[in-house]
Amino acid sequence: MRWHRLAAIVRKEILQIRRDLPSLLITVAMPLLLMLGFGYGVSFDIRHIPVYVYDRESSQQSQDFLKRFQASEYFNVMKTVDNYQAVIQALDAGACRLAIVIPVNFSEQLKTGGPVSVQALIDATDNNTANVSISYSEAVVQTYNQQIQLEWLQRHGQARLQPPLKVDARTWFNEDLESTANIVPGVVAIIMAVIGSFLTSLTIAREWERGTMEQLVSTPVTPLELMVGKLVPYFVIGLLDTALCAGMAIWWFEVPFRGQWSVFFLSCTLFLIVVLSLGYFVSVVAKSQLAASQAALIATFLPAFLLSGFIYPIDQMPAVIQVTTHLIPARYFMTIIRDVFLKGTSLPLLLDDLLALALFAVLLTILATRAFQKKLS
């Protein structure tokens, strides 16, 4: 490796990036967009579930019960209807996700005692939201039950009854169960995958398409020098973007950062090397810019989005896919970055994941330079 040649390539690359104002803007705008988009758009804090109610009794008590739904921030009682048809229509059209139907003799039955069944019609199309809304409805019903049972027992002289079991839940690392705290650090990983692979694969494929690459190759530059030289500026941009995202995560989305910055930057560096060499590899193999961008998308962005545990938990996937995720570098980085942000995990516990990333970095660098040499011969 000759430093002056390397420096020349780096300088050229920086000049080109600097002149290419749109690309430069993108390196700033893309992280911002992704950060805001995912930060606000991907929320598992399921709230305001649209609810219809069909109160066939319409008594003091039924109203009282329904008020519990109204009061909950998880539900948004949109409408009270007076026939089944309207309920069915609303579910069909997606106007509500949940419909509560109170039976005709609701208060009567409660008075005489025994269980009264209240129907919860759930649009289970979205199974996750459906599950959550069941959980919340059960919680509403249980609280109400406790209250009326207590009253009833008091009236019958059994006043000392208390709820036998209380769940005392402690949520560690993300006390308020806010999904931004969970999603936002993950977005940092996604952005790095995108910037790294997407931009590099395109800029290098462009150089092939325009024929300037042949010019470069005809000089005494070695493949490794060329690769490193081309990637250094993007590496710097990637790191700046990472810092930008981390800043946004901490100050804008108020995600706690509990780990060490050194661990954070070490893992970021490794992951950037991985995605940059992957992007480089793709651009060497792909024939055109279109093919390069498609391939980069499939090789980096999608796995980082789908198979890294960013949104979809890995342990819920079929076994084959779970095994496959071990081949996805983003998987390891996702674990590291979340642990560093929320758990404040220190280096020793993350060693396995860091080693995996390092291994990928070495492998991909070798693979990319090999592919480059093969393409030339």
Partner 1 sequence: MLGRLRGMLIKEFIQVFRDKRSRFLLFGPPVIQMLVFGYAATLEIRHIPTAVLDFDNSQVSRDLLSRFTASPYFDVRARLNDRRQIGELIDRGDVTVALQIHAGFAQDLRKGRTARLQVIVDSSVSNTALIAVGYVNQIAGRFSQDYQRERLFSTSPLVQSQLPSIVLDRRPWFNTDFDSQWFFVPGVIGNLILVMVVSLTAFAVVREREIGTLEQIMVTPIGRLEFILGKTVPFFLIGLLDTTLISLVGTLWFGVPLRGSIGVLAIGAILFILCMLGIGLFISTISMTQQQAMVSGFFFNMPAITFSGFATPISSMPEFMQWLTYLNPLRYFLDVLRGVYLKGVGLDVLWPQMTAMGVLGLVMLTISVARFHKSLD
For position 119 contacting partner 1 by CB under 8 A, the verdict is yes
Compute CA 144 distance to the chain's CA centroid, rounded to the nearest angstrom: 35
- Please state, in angstroms and rounded to a whole number, the distance separating the CA atoms of residues 109 and 152: 13
For position 85 contacting partner 1 by CB under 8 A, the verdict is no
CB 73 within 8 A of CB 119: no
For position 38 contacting partner 1 by CB under 8 A, the verdict is yes
Each residue 141-160 as x (binds partner 1 by CB under 8 A) or -, in order, gives xx-xx--xx--xx--x-x-x
Least separation, in Å, of the C-beta of 368 and partner 1?
20
Side-chain half-sphere exposure of 319, counting CA atoms within 13 A: 0
Least separation, in Å, of the C-beta of 144 and partner 1?
6
Least separation, in Å, of the C-beta of 149 and partner 1?
6
Least separation, in Å, of the C-beta of 36 and partner 1?
9
Q: Judged by CB under 8 A, which of 7, 45, 104, 154 binds partner 1?
A: 45
CB 368 within 8 A of CB 209: no
For position 371 contacting partner 1 by CB under 8 A, the verdict is no
| 260 phi/psi in degrees, rounded to 5 | -100, 140
Distances 182 to 142, 330, 369 between C-alpha atoms, Å? 29, 16, 37
Q: Which is nearer to partner 1, 11 or 210 (CB)?
A: 210
- Please state, in angstroms and rounded to a whole number, the distance separating the CA atoms of residues 331 and 15: 34
Number of residues that bind partner 1 (CB under 8 A): 122
Which residue bears the tokens 């769940």?
Answer: 167
Is 184 in a helix, a strand, or coil?
A: helix
Is 202 in a helix, a strand, or coil?
A: helix
Which residue bears the tokens 């329904």?
Answer: 66
Q: Judged by CB under 8 A, which of 72, 200, 203, 283 binds partner 1?
A: 203
Q: Judged by CB under 8 A, which of 65, 253, 332, 372 binds partner 1?
A: 65
Q: Report the site for partner 1 in 305-334 (rule: CB under 8 A).
A: 306-307, 309, 311-313, 315-318, 320-321
Q: How many CB atoms lie within 10 A of CB 94?
A: 11
Q: Report the site for partner 1 in 288-307 (rule: CB under 8 A).
A: 289-291, 293-294, 298, 302, 306-307
Least separation, in Å, of the C-beta of 134 and partner 1?
6
For position 125 contacting partner 1 by CB under 8 A, the verdict is yes
Tell me the window of 164-172, 213-221, 234-242, 365-373 that interacts with partner 1 (CB under 8 A): 164-172
Q: Which is nearer to partner 1, 82 or 352 (CB)?
A: 352
For position 348 contacting partner 1 by CB under 8 A, the verdict is no
For position 73 contacting partner 1 by CB under 8 A, the verdict is no
Least separation, in Å, of the C-beta of 161 and partner 1?
7
Q: Report the site for partner 1 in 207-266 (rule: CB under 8 A).
A: none
Q: Which is nearer to partner 1, 137 or 242 (CB)?
A: 137
Q: Judged by CB under 8 A, which of 33, 217, 323, 355 binds partner 1?
A: 33
Q: Report the site for partner 1 in 86-115 (rule: CB under 8 A).
A: 89, 91-94, 97, 109-115
| Long-range contacts of 65-74, Cβ-Cβ distance < 8 Å, separation of 24 or more | 65/102, 65/106, 65/118, 65/144, 66/100, 66/102, 68/140, 68/143, 68/144, 69/100, 69/137, 69/140, 72/136, 72/140, 73/47, 73/48, 74/46, 74/47, 74/48, 74/49, 74/132, 74/133, 74/136
311, two tokens: 């949104």
